Amino acid sequence: MVVDEQVEVELSPNGAPVRFIWRGVRYGVTCAPEPWLSREPWWLAATRAPRGSGGRFEREMWRVDATPLQPVRRPLDGSFDLTRLPDGSWSLARAWDDEIDERLFA
């Protein structure tokens, strides 16, 4: 499921996500995060990048398994794709859990 919401991310000394806050709930990463690169959808851009601008075509992604670190009414855990945005902030790009789909789109 595509989420695309801003999140706060806490990193380990080597730069991997260890915790993040989504919708006021703090999640802890439960196993080794998997880094990967995703292509930016450059073909959807309305304008062309100026020649020699060094346009950005890839974005840093991390797939993490995480669980809430605080009591919540119905705990959700699953896999999450976190992405670092060009300004250094983070976004939760996708969540992989049937219960999340059900709760967000019921």
Q: State pLDDT tens for residues 47-60.
A: 666 666 555 668 89
22 in a structural domain: yes
The rounded distance, in Å, linking the Cα atoms of 11 and 8 is 10
pLDDT at 30 over 80: yes
The rounded distance, in Å, linking the Cα atoms of 106 and 102 is 5
pLDDT at 71 over 60: yes
44 in a structural domain: no
pLDDT at 99 over 80: no
Domains in the chain, number? 1
Q: How far is CA 70 from the centre of its chain?
A: 20
pLDDT at 40 over 70: no
pLDDT at 26 over 80: yes
Q: Which domain holds residue 100?
A: 2-39+59-105
User: Quick check: 79 and 96 in contact, CB under 8 A?
Assistant: yes
User: Quick check: 77 and 67 in contact, CB under 8 A?
Assistant: yes
